[in-house]
Amino acid sequence: MKQHLRFSVGKRWVLSLAVLCGSLPAFSQYGEKSSSWEIGATIGPSNFLGDLGGNAGKGTTFLKDNNFPMTNLTFGLYVTYQPTEWLGFRLAGNFGKLEGDDAIIKGKGGYEEARKNRNQNFKSKFTEGLLLAEVYPTVFFEYDQSDTWHKIRPYGLIGVGMFKFNPQGQDPLTGRWVDLNPLSLEGQGFAEYPDRKVAKLTQMNIPMGVGVKFFLNEKVSLSAEVIHRKTNTDQIDGVSTTYIDPALFYKYFPVAKAQLAARMANKALDPVNHAPGRKRGTESNNDAYYTFGIKLGIRLGSGESYNNSTRCPIRF
């Protein structure tokens, strides 16, 4: 009798331990911490949102004034460190081109007519470096966060960046593209306009966006994302404030440069409505730009910060 009792008690302990061991994987995933590195490349269209171009009505710095004919390709490389599956830190470098042109505006008799009549255009190559935080909120609802096979994960992005640009405009006389910043088209650096500084061609931006990532397998992923850059400059397109007296160009520049500056400063189809002192751009609205990127990423590996070494001692 005692022997049978000892056997029954022992069997209960074995069954309890087996159930506990079977439950451990489900509990351990909530405490498991892992890290990984990812490298990849990005390609996709970019568009400028600023003073030049746009659509009917008042000009804005958001998608309402997006001009698809001014779309250019942007290319980039990145590396991402993920301390956990729900959070990543990305360092990225991109290069591309931005463009704007008043001539493409479809006039409808509204506010856009003044911009179309202004007849300015620009293009600028740009390079940028971005430091971004990636947040994957749906990871918290996944049963096994470490299993990425064929998973889809939406994410949000925000960060800080630096970009370099150099606006050029087309000379209406020769058709050549010339650098705008040295021409001080709105009196930048002139004593008559002490508040107008020559633009710094390296500026900060604030990138923010959303995306979705699809894991082809545990190592390779494809992502689609939109990143909008808010900037602290209104000089990406070389248009910002008001027209100045063209005689000032001859005061500060040699004749040839002054003639070029005068041509570039005012290319209006109706010069009477674009006389000195009249509005040339909207200084209160800083320029912006955005990209739509397709990312191909490869995980280099992962390492758990600690491992659960608990093993079930009983096998049936």
Residue 311 lies in a domain: no
- What domain range includes position 171? 35-183+197-241+283-302
Residues 123-152 have a mean pLDDT of 94
The confidence score (pLDDT) of residue 243 equals 96
Q: 167: exposed, middle or buried (C-beta count within 10 Å: 0-12, 13-18, 19+)?
A: buried
Q: Write out the E strands in the chain.
A: 34-49, 72-84, 87-101, 121-135, 152-165, 168-170, 177-179, 202-215, 220-231, 288-304
User: How confident is residue 113, by pLDDT bands cut at 50, 70 and 90?
Assistant: confident
Point out the least confidently predicted range of 20-24, 161-165, 197-201, 225-229.
Answer: 20-24
Give the pLDDT confidence of 275-286 residue by residue, as tens digits: 999 999 988 889
Residue 140 lies in a domain: yes
Residue 15 lies in a domain: no
Give the residue with greater pLDDT, 112 vs 60: 112
Tokens of 178: 């010339």
Please check the confidence at residue 119 and state whether its pLDDT lies above 60.
yes
Q: Are 98 and 121 in contact (CB under 8 A)?
A: no
Residue 12 lies in a domain: no
Helix-strand-coil split of the chain, %, nearest 5: 25, 40, 35
Residue 175 lies in a domain: yes
Give the residue with greater pLDDT, 169 vs 146: 169
Please check the confidence at residue 127 and state whether its pLDDT lies above 80.
yes
Residue 159 lies in a domain: yes
Give the sign of the dihedral formed by CA 22, CA 28, CA 34, CA 40. Answer: positive
Residue 165 sits in a domain of what CATH number?
A: 2.40.160.20
pTM of the model: 0.82
Residues 221-244 have a mean pLDDT of 96
Residue 246 lies in a domain: no
Give the residue with greater pLDDT, 31 vs 164: 164
Closest by Cα among 295, 304, 281, 310 to 134: 295
Quote the mean pLDDT of the chain: 85
Number of domains composing the chain = 1
Residue 4 lies in a domain: no
